Amino acid sequence: MNIHVLTLFPDMFLPVTQSILGRAEEKGLLQVRVINIRDYTLDKHNRTDDTPFGGGAGMVMSPEPAFRALEAIGAQGKRILYPSPRGKVLDQSLIEDLAKQEDVVILCGHYEGVDQRILDHWEMEEVSIGDYVLTGGELPAMVIIDAVARLIPGVLGSPDSHLEESIYSGLLEYPHYTKPREFRGLSVPEVLVSGNHQLIHLWRFEESLKLTKERRPDLLEEFVRAADSLTKQEKKILRGILESEE
Ligand code: 6GU
């Protein structure tokens, strides 16, 4: 998969080309190409933005450098994202969709934004990472890259860590514990050291449901709608959680 990032701050992406994602690149699973929009300006002072028509504060990204950068990478026909608080809020289903693409382009804007003709002509998808305002699209772009990369087979260490998660998909994660069994008088739930994998699974499932009910009732509602492939025992636990008062 190729992710093409167009930005005025290419250095911000240096950490992305290291660590987990760097290894994905070495293995040829993911290529993150960072393009400096300023390289495509035709302005004699290398400007990439200008004052807004109609007046007001801030600067707006000019169409020329953005169009030329998009043409240079062959963006025509590819999915093009524009991170913006105006966009559809990103969720895992959009990330899964993106992970299936051979190419994804992300245009990072700054200041007041970009000339609307860039978004319209290139049919960009505006995506937000939440209801708060950032200074630019670079951090959201990195969030998208990270979330997509971990879905590409071979990028993460253990391939079955996904499979195990899938039973609980749409739920918040159950609590985790490691050695020692007793630490400063704090112990680990007995069931986890029982060696009974079926009991452990059911305990984890119940903890996931409890946590989701308490913190994200919206997600639990969605889970109930979609959960038809549960086992008899799992269904019993789910009913118990839905009927409990806390
Ligand atoms: Cl995607 N961009 C910017 N600039 N601010 C944001 C955002 C995106 N998502 C939330 N806030």
Residues with CB under 6 A from ligand 1: 83-85, 127-130, 132-134, 136-137, 140
| 192-210 pLDDT, tens digit each | 999 999 999 999 999 999 9
Q: Using 50, 70 and 90 to split pLDDT, how confident is the model at 21?
A: confident
Phi, psi (rounded to 5 degrees) for 64: -55, -55
Yes or no: say if 134 and 32 are a contact pair by the CB < 8 Å rule: no
- For residue 69, the CA-to-ligand 1 centroid distance in Å is 22
Q: Which pLDDT score is estimated for 18?
A: 72
Output the CA 127–ligand 1 centroid distance in Å.
Answer: 8
Please give the model's pTM, rounded to 2 decimal places.
Answer: 0.93
Identify the band that residue 246 occupies on the pLDDT scale cut at 50, 70 and 90.
confident
Expressed in angstroms and rounded, the spacing between residue 136 Cα and the centre of ligand 1 is 7
**Residue 153, token pair as written in the block:** 């087979």
Question: Is residue 122's pLDDT more than 60?
Answer: yes
pLDDT confidence of 24, banded at 50, 70, 90?
A: confident
Q: Which of the pair, 234 or 16, is modelled with greater confidence? A: 234
Are 235 and 228 in contact by the 8 Å Cβ rule? The answer is no
Nearest CA to ligand 1 atom 8: 84
Is residue 160 very low, low, confident or very high in pLDDT (cuts 50, 70, 90)? Answer: low
pLDDT at site 63? 98
pLDDT above 90: residue 180: yes
Q: Please, what is the average pLDDT of the chain? A: 93
Residue 166 confidence class, pLDDT cut points 50, 70, 90: low
Tokens 């989701």 found at:
212
Span 34-48, mean pLDDT? Answer: 98
